Structure formats: structure tokens, C-alpha cells
A and B are shown apart, each in its own frame.
Chain A
């Protein structure tokens, strides 16, 4: 059978990406232009800056993706693009560009859900993987336990009631002075700490055994830091610096649009060693242990309840080493197969969009010229 080639475009947040994917599983090119350095200055993604950067980068990224695959646009069978969820200004650049390319080249257009893309990254890393399986999708904007019943058929089993796990990471990273993006930095610091040093809470939500809540944990960690700061302040009798901003700051967002509240500059530093001898690394490790603990136990419990023995992880936080190791440990102890994509496919990328698009293409789910960006697009929505 003639292979299917898809040119995929992703611009939902702060990564401009394009990829060429063959038959939904084989990545011929996967180009990512990251803006992280630009946004670090502001402690989070600034939507307007992100959108401006996307416009600058999108054509070179697409050209490079085709060149690296050694293919031309004419050889593509379809053009795919992320149309939600994400930052609307960022999404619009990819959507408008993809529509124009599909129209001008006379190719079918496929709109892809960003999270379905993340789930589908597993198809690339694990060619043998087929539905049904359970997937924990965990990123800066999302924390979902999803039952993948078939290609393109998703059922949400669990979700967060407040912060996404990645968002909690970003906020804790800011509080302990690690900056943005928080996930990899907290993960690295946690490796030097004792995960049992501080007992942070694990929230259970009544009647929703597979749902999450991270706001309590986040508050507990922030409180812990503040109390330590206060102790330090009293001891040193130093004056607290006041933030001198009477005007409302421009929106600074974490992944997928959650306000973080301005810059980190001028805020008081988190102590390296706390009054009882525990360290910042211990705090990072203890926080991470609490997050990983609930993510893993609930996912495995959900898999048992659904009667599946394959569990996948997807999304930016899926590259977190503690989460990977623990999920594998607990999963295997329960006779389950645990899968996750290689790190480059966990971050926002277009190859995963091409993978998800392939199965939409097979089902004949194409979009027309009125396709719009949908920042709050829900999983499974078409």
C-alpha cells in the first residue's frame, strides 16, 4: 500500500514546530524552534511575544522539516495543525498558515487536538502500541487520565480540579528561585534531595477516585517556604523588600494560559538550607514525591478499574524521571506494561500532531477553510 505522508504544524504555546510523519508512526523530520530563553526573562510565557516569534519562525521551520525529510510539499498527502487547546494568538498563527498551505497546495487539512497529539507521541516511540490503553496526560496545562478506546476515541477518566501538575512545578520552581520552565529544574534538584524529608499532603477527592488536586500541595510547599523565610527574616532582622508596582502587570502565563503573576525579580530569595537542616533539594524531592505519588497510584488504580494492562504517559511532565521510574515500578508490580515517549516527543512537537492526524486522515476527518483556533478545545471534541 502506498504510504501516507503528513506535514504537521504545531504552535499552541511557545514552540514553533513542524514535522513530516510517514504512516503516523515514522518520523522523517521533527523541527522545533523553542522560545524558552525569550520568556525566561518574564518568568513565564508572554502570549504576545510568543505569537510574534511564531510568525517569524513558522516558514523556516516548515521549510526545514520538508528539507530534512527530503520531500516536497507536493508529495504530502495532508497538512495537519494543532487548533486547540492553547494560547489563542499562538494557535492562530499555525492554523492560518496551515490552512493557507493546504489551500494553495490543494491538500486535505486536518485539525488536531493538542492533547491527542501528546497521547499519540506514544505511537511513534512504541510502534507495537495499539488501543485500547490508558494514558496519563500530564503537562503545564493538563492533568488527565484518558482511556484511549480506539484511534481518535478518548474518554476522560480523571482530571485535575485546580492546577495542572506542570503548573504546580512551575510555581514551586519560581518560589525556590529556579525559574521557568520549572519541571526539568525541579526534577534535577530533586535528585540531590530526600523525598521523605518533608511530608507534604496527597489530596484525595471524595467520590472522584481518579481526579487530582494540586492546589493544597502547592499551598503547603509555599507555606513551608514562607515560614522559613520569616524565620530567616526575624533572625537577620532584614527588611522585606516591597514590590513597587501599582499598575496591573501584563499577563504572564504558564503553558496554556495560566497567570503566574509577573516577574520573579525583586522577590525575596528562598533559603538554601532551612531551620531544621533540610535543604532546598529535600523540599524539591519531597514535593516531587507527593506529585508523582498521586499521579502513579491514581493512574494504576484507573487502569485496574478499566481492565487494561497497558499504561502510557504523555505530555511535558512525562519526561520527568521520577514519574517515569515510579510508574514503571508500580505498573510492573501490577503486571502492567508501562510506556512513555522519548523526551523530545514529550515536549510540544509536531511529529506527535502528525501521528494523531494520520488516524484522523484514515477516518476521513478533514477540516475546511473555516477551521478556527479553539483555545479551550476539549478532549474528544470534533
Chain B
């Protein structure tokens, strides 16, 4: 069994290849270069380094969202193309759970935060019971205030991770009442090995979709749809 894993949900581009019992390769780049240019060459490098041929690949795990709409779509289109040709299933994995899985084994709850703009974050909270993932806060898009209420209700130590915790550091420190820690930089962000690790478990549970059916999980409608809904709501009120 070899699972190719991909995360292109934010600035980090990350590709990994996992077997049953090892991470055979991982390649992450956190640099201002478009995923459109980097992702496929990275996949190629990972497969060549591990002498993987297409017949070896069992499934493709992908960070399905939330995240940057464009980043998610570049990952999605890449995965849909590869999975269609290789005739393998796609394993959608929550981007937030993927970041949390960087801390599997720590015993702590992890709350990743990704910048969603407009003062909001894409977030959630997960813990790990051995290799079993436990969801404490489902993936959502909210502001820091309400998130801190949810975090405080957990009543346990929380590790804040993700690319937005630095942006919201002050607000977190002001609002949090449970013990907490900020993730160190080498484990704070997206890592395809974590996505692949979660994906392997999901694969065994049969939680896969076809290349054709796979679409990203945006957690947010487009700006135009939101404004149209607001306008229609506004005119209904008056």
C-alpha cells in the first residue's frame, strides 16, 4: 500500500508518500511561489526518489479544506487528474485535522487556526487517542471571540497551531483561560505526512470518494453569493 498525500490549502505546498508503516518521502515548501508551478514537480520528485510507479499507488489523500479557495482548487484539480488516470480513489482529509495530526501522540488537544480574512479563522479542535482522532470542535469559520469560548469550554490544555496563530496571538492570549501552548514552527503548519497518516486510517474505513466526485470543502460561500443573500434578506426585512 502506498498513499500519496497532498496539501496545498495555504502557502505551504506539501507532498508525502506513505507505506503501511513508514513515511517514505515528504517534501514541503513554505515559500511565495504558486502551487500551480510547484505542486506537480514536487509530486514528481517524491515519486522518482522513492522509485514509485503508478501501479504502486493505492489512493491519494488530499487536504480537502478549509483553506485558500485557489490553493484548494489547484490541489483538487491535480488530484482529480492523477486519480482519474491512475484509477485510484481519493481520500478527502480535513485541513484542520491534518495540522492537528502533527501533534498526534502528545495527548493534548490541538486547535489549528488558518487566516480566513474578514477577521475570521478556519479552525477546529482535535485530540488523539492513540492513533484514533477525536473531534472536539468541528471545522468552522468564526471570529476569535467565539472560538475562545469554545476552547475554554474544553477545560483542558490546548496547543494553538496553523498559519494564523501568530496573527491572532494577542487576541488568543487575552481570551484563553485554559492552559495553552503555541506550536513550534516546525510543527505549526500543513504537512502532507500528517494528511497521509490520517488518510491511511480513513482509507481502511472505506472513507474514499471517486476522482469525479471529489470537490474541496470551502466552508464558506463566495462573496457574490453572500452579498446577494444579504441584499435579498435586506429587501425582505423592509
Contacts and interface: CB of A to CB of B under 8 A. Distances in A.
A60 B174 CA distance: 49
A250 B224 contact: yes
Contacts of A263: 228, 231
Most chain A C-beta atoms within 10 Å of own C-beta, residue among B34, B82, B224, B226: B224
Nearest to A96: B77
A60 B215 CA distance: 13
A97 B212 contact: no
Contacts of A362: none
Contact of B79 (A46, A100, A245, A369): A100
B81 interface: yes
B71 to A, nearest CB: 10
Interface in B186-238: 211-212, 215-216, 218, 222-228, 231, 234
A92 interface: yes
Interface string A311-329: 0000000000000000000
B222 A96 contact: no
B2 interface: no
Interface residues of B, number: 37
Interface string A38-71: 0001100010110110111011101100000000
Interface in B36-60: 36-37, 39-41, 43-44, 54
Contacts of A124: none
A96 B86 CA distance: 16
B224 A89 contact: no
B212 A60 contact: yes
A100 B228 contact: no
Question: Nearest 8 pairs between A and B by C-beta?
Answer: A100-B81, A104-B85, A96-B77, A48-B222, A250-B224, A250-B223, A97-B77, A46-B224
A239 to B, nearest CB: 16
Given A59-B211, A59-B212, A62-B84, 16 more contacts: A42-B224, A46-B222, A52-B73, A55-B73, A58-B80, A88-B70, A89-B69, A92-B36, A93-B73, A96-B36, A96-B73, A96-B77, A100-B81, A100-B82, A103-B40, A103-B44
A52 B223 CA distance: 13
